[in-house]
Amino acid sequence: MPVRQKPVEEQVIVITGASSGIGLATAHMFASRGAKGLVLAARNEEALRKVADELSRGGTRAVAVPADVSKREDLERIARTAIDTFGGFDTWVNDAAVAVYGTVDKIPLEDQRHLFEVNYWGVVNGSLIAADHLRGRGGTIINVGSVLSERTMILQTQYSASKHAVKAFTDGLRMELEEQGAPIAVTLIKPSSIDTPYVEHARNYLDKETAVPPPAYDPHLVAKAIVFAAEHQRRELTIGFGGWVIGAMGKVAPRLMDKAMELTGYGSQTTNQSERQGMRDNLYRARQDGDMYSSLPGEPRKTSLLLEAQLHPFTTAVVLAGIGAAVTSLLLAPIMSGMRSAPRAKRPLPRYQPTMRRTGNGHDKRIMGPGHVSQRSASERRPQPRH
């Protein structure tokens, strides 16, 4: 059975982690596209209800469901709310996640386990609940992974491990649903460094404030990828060329990337900039919420050519072909010009040319000049008349 995806304007979308960062940007973008309904889930009830009220002022109806994705019963309540309010849902976005910074020997095992309860088991339970509902009507499951699904980041080992697990689960779920003929698209979103409160929400075992490695990208780029995936079947979408390079180099030259991270990992992920303490450490409980961006200085990148290439592969292929043709033309122009301007070699004159005389009739004939003595023999000479 082919995958069935409705236009966004006809969809009801469930978004976990919707009170800040990528989830909040995604909720706003779905609302700006005129989505039929939004079911927003997060732990911070106050911030979540403010977001739902704001988004409901337009043509989209948004409802808030306070929930902890580490608890399956909370995820089931999200699905029931969507069914009771809108009659069902069409896209389920698993975005909620927590983070811990530090070396593996300094992070308590209970913290590591709880991170997996949110980042991995929250995705697993959310995806299975969504798949059960979407089997009969079609739709999309979107799991927000990371470029760290491909390459572990030093000092974020547990987070990286959870995103590796999310990628493996997403790939396995996709294959099983395809084999069963379920009309469900399954997409993995892989952001690079994104400028969100992620770093301020993280539990921190380092001796300095945390930061994301540069370059940092705008969360609206991730939202754009998620909204696109809700309408178009895609296996994976990566946001940010910088993160993609890290993953690619990790496969081509893993030891080189190990050394690079060992040298730069601490400096690129810490800062002396003071951060909002009201947001610090939401590993076990909700903290200050409601912002898309971090408080760190600097403007995030607003564009990602890599993302555009994935969203519009045919146009990208045509443009690249045109660029290739132009470059080839520029490279060949000097060569062709040199070939056209090369002087022709003169034809060598024969070493001997007989004396020629013009007869005046336009043809060159060899004629005998005055004083010519015939070389005929006596027997070949014309007889002379007698007188």
Rounded CA-CA distance 183/172 in Å is 16
Q: 21 — alpha (psi -120 to 50), left (phi > 0) or beta? A: left
284 is annotated as an active-site residue? no
Q: Which helix (H) or strand (E) holds 164?
A: helix 157-180
Rounded CA-CA distance 277/273 in Å is 12
Q: Which helix (H) or strand (E) holds 338?
A: helix 313-341
Q: Which helix (H) or strand (E) holds 39?
A: strand 37-42
**351 CB-near residues (< 8 Å, 6+ apart):** none
**298 CB-near residues (< 8 Å, 6+ apart):** 195, 216
Rounded CA-CA distance 350/366 in Å is 17
Annotated catalytic residue within 159, 198, 217, 293: 159
Nearest to 194 by CA among 51, 97, 267, 107: 97
Rounded CA-CA distance 101/250 in Å is 21
Kindly give the interhelix angle for 157-180 and 109-116, rounded to the nearest 10 degrees: 30
Nearest to 15 by CA among 334, 197, 230: 230
| Residue whose token pair is 């890599």 | 306
The residues carrying an active-site annotation are: 159
